[in-house]
Structure 1
Amino acid sequence: MENKAHALIAGAFVVLVTALLAVLAIWLTRDNTARNLYEMSTSETVSGLQPQATVRYRGVAVGKVERIGFDQKVKGNVLIRVSIDEAAPVMRSTFATVASQGVTGLGFIQLDDDGSSDQRLVPNDDDPPRIPLKQGGIDKLLKQADVIFNQAEQVTTRINQLLSSQNEAAINTAVTQLAEAAGSINRVAKAMEPAVATLPALSRDAQAALRSVKGATDEVTLTARRLNEKGGPLDRLKDGGEALAAGVETFSAATLPKLGEVADETARTMRQLRRTVNAVDDNPQALIFGNGPAVPGPGETGFNANGDKP
């Protein structure tokens, strides 16, 4: 009897402990957060996403996936129902993507917002509103996998062509030529070292020459300024030229006409002198006896056609 009593007490104790653990588990896992239902419909693959998966808003956990099934409104689409904390800022511009968590590959819903609207998406548990579900990075990668593989194959083919025996020989030749060119450049550089060493002195000489040219230019500028000053040589030369022009004009206006009259008078005198000399040559005795009477002309008394004097 005593053993049965001990067994009964032990059994009652186990049952009591089990009940207490169940109550503690319920209390620890209870969730009093008020959530709203939303739906997402997509034609993309949602591999890795399971019910009770986490819903995150820009990395912050705000809910969980309640159910995954087929959309009765859009044939062929997958319908995801989620419950989200009513304090989460779910706006009309909020959208969702399916993301993978770490290396486990477990999927979760990532919410984000492009900021184009500041109006909240009104919840309705009887007919939950729908949040757009866009392609995630994995979906885009899967769609581009064929293109990536084709490009990788093309790259591999081109690398094989590049590494062919003919191209390898050409590459070796090019490398050899580059080495020879580098050696030539080194030799040229060494040959130019003496010339480069003289560049500082040449630069100093050039600077001295430039300073000399600048000094000469300044002297020329100063001389030109002095020549052009009022009362300077050019100004005096201008006044002298004007005076000379005035003298020439006076000479032309007054002296030249008088010189012309003197020349005319001299010409008349010379003609008279010539006539006198001719008359003396014809009748020298005229110097002693005079010219005598004039020879009668035709129709006058004593005229002789033979030219004899009466």
Structure 2
Amino acid sequence: MENKAHAIAAGAFVLGLIALLVGLVVWFTRDNTVRNIYELSTSDAVSGLQPQAMVRYRGIAVGKVTLIDFDPKRKGNVRVRISVDERVPLTKSSYATLSYQGVTGLAFIALDDKGGSTVALVPDNDDPPRLPLKQSALAQLQDRGEAIINQVEEVTKRANTLLGDTNQKRFADALENIAQAAGSANDLTKRLDNTVKTSLDPALKAMPDALTRVKTAATDVSRVANNLNSTVSRVNEKDGALDRLASGTQALGQAVDSFNTATLPRVNRVADDTSRAVRRLGRAADGINDNPQSLLFGNGGAAAGPGEPGFALPPASALPAANSAARP
């Protein structure tokens, strides 16, 4: 009986220890984070993605993949349901890509947002909102791989054509022609050197004499310029030719002013007196022509005119004669 009692006690202790360990495991592994459900739908393959795969937002673990199945809303697409921490700031411009971890090939969902919208994505666990699942760089490379391979094949064919036997011969001929042209250029350079030595060397030797002549001519020009400067200095110096000419011009101006202010008015008065004398002489000559006897008897008294004392009317018999005499 005692052995059974010990066995039962030992069994109970083991069971209690196991229950305690399970409780500790549950306690330490419990997750109180509030998560929101979102869905992804894609027509591309999701190879390597498994349920419970990690969901990261810009490299930070924020959730897990909860379901992978076919999309009931879009025939042929794959639906991926994920649970994400409610603190993640998802907006209407957020998107997801399928990424892979190092060399293991395990896939995970990477969330990102380019900031195109600031409107928050409202979660709804009954009808989860959907995020676009864009192709990863590896998927884009796989899609373009065939086109890249075709282009590489085309480049290879063109390279083979370019490096064919015929073109290689042409390249060899071109290199030979280039070598001949280089040799010809060397010969031409040597000839030019000889020409320069035979033709230009005498001219270069004659350059010192020409330079000496140029220096002599420059010295003569400098001497003439110095003489001209000396002459100009003498002309411009005090009491020089220019000062004398200016003094003479000033004296001439003063003489002209004196003539205009003193002599010319006198000449004008003399001319006026002469003109009056000439007029008087003319009247005297006219009077002598009209009455020559006045030189002997004088002009006589002047007859009284009408209204003057001593005026008397001429007789009637004399009027016709006077009128006839007055007519021309």
TM-score bucket (shorter structure):
0.5 to 0.7
- Closer, same or farther in 2 for the Cα pair 1:23/1:186, shift >3 Å? farther
Matched residues in 2 for 1:141 and 1:188: separation?
A: 58
Specify the code of the residue in structure 2 equivalent to 1:129: P
- Closer, same or farther in 2 for the Cα pair 1:58/1:177, shift >3 Å? farther
Residue 22 (structure 1) shift: 2.3
Residue 133 (structure 1) shift: 1.4
Q: Which residue of 2 aligns with 1:168?
A: 168
1:146 is the counterpart of 2:149 = no
SS of 2:142 mapped into structure 1: helix
SS of 2:161 mapped into structure 1: helix
Deviations 1:165-198 (A, max 9, x none): 22333334445555666778889999999x9xxx
What pairs with 1:228-247 in structure 2 (closer than 5 Å)?
none
Q: TM-score, normalised to structure 1's length?
A: 0.55
Residue 3 (structure 1) shift: 6.6
Q: Which residue of 2 aligns with 1:69?
A: 69
Q: Which residue of 1 aligns with 2:107?
A: 107
Matched residues in 2 for 1:108 and 1:186: separation?
A: 70
SS of 1:123 mapped into structure 2: coil
Q: Which residue of 1 aligns with 2:45?
A: 45
Deviations 1:67-115 (A, max 9, x none): 0111111111111111111000100111111112212221111111121
Gaps of 5+ in 1: 196-211, 213-218, 220-231, 237-310
Gaps of 5+ in 2: 197-214, 216-221, 223-235, 237-241, 243-328
What pairs with 1:78-157 in structure 2 (closer than 5 Å)?
78-157=78-157
Q: TM-score, normalised to structure 2's length?
A: 0.52
Matched residues in 2 for 1:183 and 1:89: separation?
A: 76
SS of 1:73 mapped into structure 2: coil
Matched residues in 1 for 2:187 and 2:14: separation?
A: 97
Matched residues in 1 for 2:104 and 2:12: separation?
A: 43
SS of 2:131 mapped into structure 1: coil
- Closer, same or farther in 2 for the Cα pair 1:73/1:162, shift >3 Å? same
- Closer, same or farther in 2 for the Cα pair 1:174/1:118, shift >3 Å? same
Q: Which residue of 1 aligns with 2:309?
A: none
Residue 119 (structure 1) shift: 1.2
SS of 1:95 mapped into structure 2: strand
Specify the code of the residue in structure 1 equivalent to 2:59: G
SS of 1:131 mapped into structure 2: strand
Matched residues in 2 for 1:5 and 1:191: separation?
A: 126
- Closer, same or farther in 2 for the Cα pair 1:94/1:9, shift >3 Å? same
SS of 1:152 mapped into structure 2: helix
Specify the code of the residue in structure 2 equivalent to 1:158: R
The more displaced of 31-40 and 136-145 is: 136-145
Q: Which residue of 2 aligns with 1:26?
A: 26
Matched residues in 1 for 2:23 and 2:187: separation?
A: 92
SS of 1:25 mapped into structure 2: helix
Matched residues in 1 for 2:187 and 2:8: separation?
A: 106
Matched residues in 2 for 1:188 and 1:60: separation?
A: 75
- Closer, same or farther in 2 for the Cα pair 1:135/1:191, shift >3 Å? farther
SS of 2:130 mapped into structure 1: coil
- Equivalenced residues, count: 209
Identity of aligned residues (%): 55
What pairs with 1:135-214 in structure 2 (closer than 5 Å)?
135-175=135-175
Residue 28 (structure 1) shift: 2.7
Matched residues in 2 for 1:44 and 1:36: separation?
A: 24
In our comparison, the structure showing a higher alpha carbon Rg is 2
Residue 5 (structure 1) shift: 6.3
SS of 1:132 mapped into structure 2: strand
Q: Which residue of 1 aligns with 2:55?
A: 55
Specify the code of the residue in structure 2 equivalent to 1:27: W
- Closer, same or farther in 2 for the Cα pair 1:91/1:174, shift >3 Å? same
Residue 33 (structure 1) shift: 0.9
Matched residues in 2 for 1:177 and 1:5: separation?
A: 111
- Closer, same or farther in 2 for the Cα pair 1:91/1:163, shift >3 Å? same
Specify the code of the residue in structure 1 equivalent to 2:146: D
Q: Which residue of 2 aligns with 1:203?
A: none
